[in-house]
Structures are given as C-alpha cells and as structure tokens.
C-alpha cells in the first residue's frame, strides 16, 4: 500500500472516530452565545471533513484512467 493511501486511510478512520462526539452529549454551553457546543463541533467537523475529501480527490483522482476511458491516451 502506498504511503499516501495509508495516510488517507488513517485520517479517514480518525474522522470516523471523531464523528462520534460522545463527550459533547451533555455539554449545554453555547458557542458565540447562541450555538450549542454539539452543533458547533459538527459544523467544524464538517469543514474539516470537506477539506480532507477535497485533498483526497485532488491527490488520488485517477487521471490516467479517466484519460484512457475518454480515449485520449493510446
């Protein structure tokens, strides 16, 4: 397995574990005076997950396979 694939897999598993935010279930504090901590955590989690998948797509997208499928490369 390539080093890049191993890094992506590790980050993916870490994000899957962090998605289960059991430590925020009983936290009633507010962020910015209106947003519950659990909602703020998931908003930040969503931004981090989006950035992660954008990097995965940019780095690991199979461009050679895509070019072959479109008939551009002999």
Q: What is the pLDDT of residue 73?
A: 56
- 48: CB partners within 8 A, 6+ apart: 15
Average pLDDT over residues 63-73: 78
Average pLDDT over residues 4-13: 93
What residues form DSSP beta bridges with 36?
Answer: 30
Cβ pair 15, 52 in contact under 8 A: yes
Task: Locate the domains of the chain by residue range.
Answer: 3-70
Q: What is the pLDDT of residues 23-64, one digit of tens each?
A: 888 888 999 999 999 999 999 999 999 999 999 999 988 888
For the four alpha carbons of 51, 9, 6 and 66, in that order, the dihedral sign comes to negative
């Amino acid at each position: 397995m390539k080093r890049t694939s191993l890094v992506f897999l590790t980050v993916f598993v870490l994000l899957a574990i962090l998605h289960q935010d059991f430590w925020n279930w009983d936290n009633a504090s507010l962020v910015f005076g209106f947003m519950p901590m659990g909602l703020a955590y998931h908003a930040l989690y969503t931004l981090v997950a989006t950035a992660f998948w954008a990097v995965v797509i940019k780095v690991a997208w199979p461009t050679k396979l895509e070019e072959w499928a479109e008939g551009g490369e002999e």
